[in-house]
Structure 1
Amino acid sequence: MSRGVILAAGIAALMAPLPASAFTAKNGMVAVQISPTEIAVPHDSRGRETDYWCAAGDFADRVMRVDGATRMWRASPKPREAGVGITFTLDPAKKAEGAGLSSFGSGPKDGSISVSAAAGNHCRKIWPFIAD
């Protein structure tokens, strides 16, 4: 397959329509609110696990406008199947046991992190995302 065909296919995939309620986080990943307390981040082959936390935290911060100290948990159990995204929750009753991030230092040891930590400490630009 020629480079031109591969490039055209890549551009077409990037330009595929997103749901009207989709949000592009500052790292270029997509996040969608699926309930009053749950945020889904669809699979992105370029993303590390912390990139998913970033997208969900950025969504909670800028779209849901929750307080930055609000705790966020992973709602999807581990291990995650290939090609499957991750769902996050702001409701501790909906957290997936053993599926959060390890935390060091002070703070709860329940796999949660604050919205501000997710949006501020786990965000990196993912190429070929182009920020404005």
Structure 2
Amino acid sequence: MKNLSLATIAACLLGLTVSDASAFTSRDGSRVNPVSDAVFEVIPKTGGSGRNYWCAAGDYAQRALKTSWEARLYIARSRGASETTNRRSAVQFTLQPVLTGSSEQASTAGVNNLMRGDTMRVRDAFNLCHQLPVGF
């Protein structure tokens, strides 16, 4: 009976570890979770500005997905409730413009717009990680 209880606890802990393994924490502390093979979701620590979303997306694309600095990130879904957590604020990104209805040559909108189809190079998004917050 004792061995069965230990085995059950170990299995539960292993399950928690496996689900956390797919999560990524960006340099600014935002969480990034895969939604599908082509889409990932950025969940900032608290609310978050556009800078936080783009920074985390660029960080994830470069460090976790190993994409080129020149690759383009696209917003697949505007700010809304998270699909991977219970948080109220998340933005979904993709590297595939076809999933957003955007052309590959779409122009970059303002950092805080966070509208479906907005795009930014991975390098530019990652560089937002190094900017000081407003009011510093």
TM-score (norm 2): 0.61
Q: CA deviation at 1:53?
A: 1.1
More helix by share: 2
Equivalent residue runs for 1:62-101 within 5 Å:
62-77=63-78, 80=80, 83-95=88-100, 101=108
Kindly state the Cα deviation for residue 43 of structure 1 after the two structures are TM-superposed. Answer: 4.9
Show the counterpart of 1:32: 33
Aligned to 2:122: 115
With 41-50 and 58-67 compared, the bigger mean Cα shift is at: 41-50
Quote the residue 1:50 is aligned against: 51
Unaligned 5+ segments in structure 2 are: 1-16, 82-86, 111-116
The residue number in structure 2 matching 1:106 is: none
Percentage of identical aligned residues: 27
Find the aligned partners of 2:44 and 2:55 in 1 and give their Cα distance: 14
Displacement of 1:32 in angstroms is: 1.7
Q: Pairwise CA RMSD of aligned residues? A: 3.1
SS of residue in 2 equivalent to 1:123? helix
> Does the 8 Å CA contact 2:22/2:33 hold for their aligned counterparts?
yes
> Once the two structures are superposed, what CA deviation does each residue of 1:84-115 show, in whole Å capped at 9, x if it has no partner?
31100111011277xx9516xxxxxx631111
State the secondary structure of the residue aligned to 1:47: coil
* Superposed CA offset, 1:25-63 (max 9, x none): 011111122333211112532411221111111001001
